[in-house]
Amino acid sequence: MIPTILLVMDEGNPRYTETLRQYRVRLTQRIFDEGWQVATAVGVAQALAQLEAQKISLLVFDTTGYRGDRVAQLKLLRASTDLPVLVVVEGGDEHAELEMLENGADDCLHRPASDPLIIAHVKALLKRVHALPPKELRFDGLRLSLAEHVVELDGKTVALSPREFDLLYYLARNPNLALSRMQILNRAWDSGYAGDERTVDSHIKSLRAKLGWFGKHIITVRGVGYKFLWSAAQERPA
């Protein structure tokens, strides 16, 4: 499943409002450029709601300009999730860094930290909890680009819906493994997705049709679900 990064910051302090908005927009774009998804929250209350509403992989908690008790806010986050938390503090504030690390932060950076440095720290944290998905997969004439969110077959773009893309990507990342419909619902899409197992069948049917001759690499495993069969994918039609 594609990682989702939650950015948490407080824009209520007039001294930092515009700066933080610009920073949020810029960092959001950098996260998208990495092929990840991003969610934002203004304050910890919104962050807790986001954690309930969707599957988050990692939190970036920027305490710059926070008017309240930063430690208390971090403790609230930590009490609600065991996900990795990267905290950003004021530049040169070693005491704040120590407080954050002692109260649940997995990593800490000082502002102003460059976007590439923040992304590098996010990658390192993600690798600790689960392997980062490859940005690109290639199988014979098929190319899946996570960064571009594009699928090409024999050099031509295949128009897929977001769910079809995630489904194909998940299957292709696990070649020759029989995956149940429930696994696909929970891991290829979202654990909170309201669809039932028959939804997977309809998406598989559509995906096979759109992939043409290459669709034969998605096989049905009776009593289980589906499998991306690499040996079938290697053979082109005559």
52: domain CATH number?
3.40.50.2300
Residue 233 has pLDDT above 50, yes or no: no
**Residue 160 included in any domain:** yes
**Residue 11 included in any domain:** yes
Q: Are residues 165 and 50 in the same domain?
A: no
Q: Are residues 124 and 143 in the same domain?
A: no
Residue that is last in its domain, among 70, 94, 129:
129
Q: Are residues 11 and 124 in the same domain?
A: yes
Q: Are residues 93 and 147 in the same domain?
A: no
- Condensed to tens digits (0 to 9), the pLDDT of residues 116-127 reads 888 899 988 888
Four-CA torsion 223, 224, 226, 230, nearest 10 degrees: -100
**Residue 63 included in any domain:** yes
Determine the Cα–Cα distance for residues 232 and 99; give it in Å rounded to an integer. 55
Q: Name the pTM for this structure.
A: 0.54
What is the span of the domain harbouring residue 46?
4-129
Return the closest-CA partner of residue 88 out of 122, 64, 106. 64
What b/e sequence results for 118-145 when a residue is b if at least 16 CB atoms lie within 10 Å of its CB, and e otherwise?
bbebbeebbeeeeebbeeebebeebbbb
Q: Are residues 120 and 157 in the same domain?
A: no
Least confident of 23-27, 116-120, 146-150: 23-27
Q: Are residues 105 and 182 in the same domain?
A: no
**Residue 238 included in any domain:** no
Residue 232 has pLDDT above 60, yes or no: no
Residue 20 has pLDDT above 90, yes or no: no
- Condensed to tens digits (0 to 9), the pLDDT of residues 181-227 reads 888 887 777 545 556 778 899 999 999 999 999 999 999 999 889 99
Q: Which tokens is 232 given?
A: 């079938």
Helix H or strand E encompassing 119: helix 115-129
Q: Are residues 32 and 120 in the same domain?
A: yes
Q: Are residues 54 and 112 in the same domain?
A: yes
Q: Looking at residue 185, what is its pLDDT?
A: 82
Residue 28 has pLDDT above 90, yes or no: no
The structural domain count of the chain equals 2
Q: Are residues 197 and 108 in the same domain?
A: no
What's the half-sphere exposure (Cβ side, CA atoms, 13 Å) at 87?
28
Q: Are residues 50 and 115 in the same domain?
A: yes
Q: Are residues 115 and 146 in the same domain?
A: no
Residue that is last in its domain, among 86, 110, 129:
129
* pLDDT band, residue 236 (cuts 50/70/90): low
Determine the Cα–Cα distance for residues 91 and 48; give it in Å rounded to an integer. 26
Q: Looking at residue 1, what is its pLDDT?
A: 62
Residue that is last in its domain, among 129, 158, 177:
129
Q: Are residues 152 and 171 in the same domain?
A: yes
